[in-house]
Structure 1
Amino acid sequence: MANNYYRDEDFIKKFGLRLKEIRKFKKMSQEELAFKCGFELSQIGRIERGTINTSISHVAAIARALEVAPYKLFEFEPD
């Protein structure tokens, strides 16, 4: 079995848009979210723009900071 790196660009972008939507609904800036997560501000921006494929551990930290269940960040229609 080959060990190929899989990257779903569309899914990553949709995740980022969903994160941004929830963050704005919670009236939280990127700066506030980054601080609460212990991440760099630029990392939050890259996740929201879909330029990085974030880890499941980061998803958990983001969900805690936003005070939402992790699955809420995945509530979007995949292609």
Structure 2
Amino acid sequence: MKPSIDILISFGNKVKTFRKEKGISQEELAFRSDLHRTYIGMIERAEKNITLKNIEKIAIGLDISVLDLFK
């Protein structure tokens, strides 16, 4: 079964929305999340199928719960 692109788009949009609400750049989120800036961009553009570990890192970087990214 092939994963749906819709979930990647939805997740990427959530990350972008929270990031913008916090007033931080992709570079700042990457620093806070211990990830590469280009990786954050790829997630926001739904170009990467992110792992659970990296979802947790992004939630920490955004100072939100993992659950918030899926609401």
- TM score, norm. by length of structure 1: 0.85
Map 1:60-71 onto structure 2 (within 5 A): 60-71=56-67
CA distance in 1, matches of 2:14, 2:32: 18
Q: Distance in 1 between matches of 2:59 and 2:4?
A: 21
Deviation at 1:62, TM superposition (A): 0.5
Structure index of larger Rg: 1
Aligned positions of 1:1-79 closer than 5 A: 6-75=2-71
The structure where helix makes up a greater share of residues is 2
Give deviations 1:44-74, integer Å, cap 9, x for gaps: 0000010110001000000011110111111
Alignment RMSD (CA, Å): 1.0
Aligned residues between the structures: 71
5+ residue gaps, structure 1, are none
* Percent of paired sites with the same residue: 35
